[in-house]
Amino acid sequence: MPPKTVLVVEDADATRRLIEVSLTIDGYNVIQRVDGESGLEAAKNERPDLVVLDIALPGIDGWMVLELLRSDRITRDIPVLVVTAHDTAETRSKADFATADAFVGKPFDLNHLRQAVVSLLGDG
């Protein structure tokens, strides 16, 4: 079975690289994008098995990306793991309302993030 593909949409280089290295070690194919617009394009063109989505992105923010992913028949069923530094009850509620499949606050425990990925992809 080919490796599952994870699209990481994160503008912070160090965070994006950390996620990419960790998930690559775990056997996933990782695609990276640094803003909402290119992330949306990659989701439509590459059809990843999972999107790891930062909320604070340049241009189109993560909330709008999530809304647009959910409104498009091509991308609506792709699981989305929201990652954000704004880890508050209000943000978690908004993530639930916006139909995020999981939520991880920054700074995150790498093992927690990896467990969320495994859970969403049904690998665990």
The dihedrals phi and psi of 58, each to the nearest 5 degrees, come to -70, 150
Domain count, the chain: 1
pLDDT-based confidence at residue 16 (cuts at 50, 70, 90) = very high
pTM listed for this prediction = 0.90
| 3-class secondary structure, 77 | coil
Give the per-residue pLDDT at 86: 58
The C-alpha angle with vertex 98 and arms to 23 and 95, in degrees rounded to 5, equals: 60
**Domain that residue 32 falls in:** 5-121
Residue 3 is encoded by which pair of tokens? Answer: 């490796």
Which candidate, 5, 6, 61, places its Cα nearest to that of 36? 61
pLDDT digits (tens, 9 = 90+) for 68-102: 999 999 999 999 998 877 555 555 555 554 578 88
SS (H, E, C) 6-61: EEEECCCHHHHHHHHHHHHHCCCEEEEECCHHHHHHHHHHHCCCEEEEECCCCCCC
Q: How far apart are CA 81 and CA 83, in angstroms?
A: 6
Query: Would the pLDDT of 6 be above 90?
Result: yes
Query: Residue 62: which CATH number?
Result: 3.40.50.2300
